[in-house]
Amino acid sequence: MTDIFRAGFLAIPRQQLDAGLSLGLSRFQTFRLVLLPQALPLILPPLGNQLINLAKNSSLLAFITVEELFHVIYTGAVEAFRPMEYFLVGAALYITVSLGISGLVILFERLYRQGCYTDTLSRWELRHG
C-alpha cells in the first residue's frame, strides 16, 4: 500500500508543491488541496486491486483456524462430504466480494470525475475559511 501511495505522489511534479507553498498555504493544506486531488485518480485503481487481493488472501487465515469464509466452507464441505456444492457457493461469494470492491472503486472514480471531491473541499473551505 505504501508503494501505491508513493507512486501516486511521485507522479506529481515537485513544482505543484512549490506552487501551493508559494500561495501561502501550509504544508498540510498544500497536501490536502493541491497534491491529494491530483494523486487520487492515480492511486484509486491499484488501491482497489490491493483491496481485492487482501479480501482473497484473508482465506489463508484458515490455516491458523480463524473462522472466516474459507474455513467455514471447507469444514462444511468436509462434514457434508459435498465438496462441489460448497466450493461453488464459496467461489460465488468471493466473486461477489471482489465485484463489490471493484464496483466501489469505479463508483469513487466516477464521483471524483464529476467533481465531488473538489466540490466538497471548496465548500468546506468556504465554511471554515
Residues interacting with other proteins, by CB under 8 A? 52, 56-57, 59-60, 62-63, 70, 73-74, 77, 83-84, 87-88, 90-91, 94-95, 97-99
> What residues contact 6, with CB distance under 8 A and at least 6 apart?
none
Q: Which amino acid is at 120?
A: T
Per the document, the length of the chain is 129
Q: How far apart are CA 53 and CA 23, in angstroms?
A: 40
Determine contact, residues 4/46, Cβ cutoff 8 Å: yes
The nearest distance, CB 55 to other proteins, in angstroms, is 8
The nearest distance, CB 18 to other proteins, in angstroms, is 32
Q: How far apart are CA 80 and CA 95, in angstroms?
A: 23
Residue 38 or 75 with smaller CB distance to other proteins: 75
Residue 15 or 57 with smaller CB distance to other proteins: 57
The nearest distance, CB 75 to other proteins, in angstroms, is 11
